[in-house]
Amino acid sequence: MNFTEKLAKISLKNRSLLCVGLDPDPALMPEKIGVFEFNKAIIDATADFVCAYKPNIAFYEAMGHEAVEALHETISYVPKEIPTIIDAKRGDIGNTAKAYARSLFDRFNADAITASPYLGYDSLEPFIERRDRGVFILCRTSNPGAADFQSLPVGEDKKLLYEVVAEKVNEWNKHGNLGLVVGATYPEELKLIRQRYPEILLLIPGVGAQGGELEQVVKYGTDKGRRRTVINSSRQIIFASRGKDFADAAAKAARELRDRINAFWR
């Protein structure tokens, strides 16, 4: 089963478009708990409410070797029916790109990853050619500085850069395994992308802590079949409590957000 099929199947089973970001931060985690122990408790508590998990590799690398090993353990622990998306935002050329693909898909065994389009097609080809895996390519990101480059007019027709990225990714999507990262904080851009590419995979970060308006995200970003949309929330769920009840609080937050997404969907 490839990533797109796996995502569609669990989205239907769990009635969910919710992805939980597994981004452990010792400053926000309960005291005296290891990274894998924390992630394991979050997964156990939320697995019935999600369509995917998305660990951002930076949080693990920042804590050193043991945390990177905990990422391995975490991905192995996630139920096989639920896809994992490693948020790595990789983008490089030649053998380096191939090494990144081997690392993320073979060593970590991610079902999907995030990548940067800045270096062009050849920098993404080693990921794209892994037909069973998903590749979410940065298009219109959720951060305030996104407009510095992503809103620049390009070429004779003055399309904005994020529009050109979306157009290129759609052209490259010959195996149906490519998607776009479009932030919840830019609902009009999200609406435009989904209208132009109704069947493309979308990863939508920025719900919750970054202030994305959920009703607009669901209205503008969801595909008709509810099989190709991943709405991510991290801190709002995994740090719903810093006490001993952190897993129960995460379950409650995940269930409520899943249900709110479903309530807005038409």
**Residue carrying the six token digits 């949080």:** 59
Phi, psi at 205, each rounded to 5°? -90, 175
Q: CA–CA separation, 234 vs 237, rounded Å?
A: 6
The whole-angstrom separation of Cα 106 and Cα 118 is 24
**How buried is 106 (Cβ within 10 angstroms: 0-12 exposed, 13-18 middle, 19+ buried)?**
exposed
State how far the Cα of 51 lies from the Cα of 251, in Å rounded to an integer.
14
Beta bridge partners, 19, equal 52, 232
Angle between helices 35-46 and 246-264 in degrees, nearest 10 = 40
DSSP code for 63 = T
Separation of alpha carbons 245 and 87, rounded Å: 27
Query: What residues are annotated to the active site?
Result: 89
Coil vs helix vs strand at 90: strand
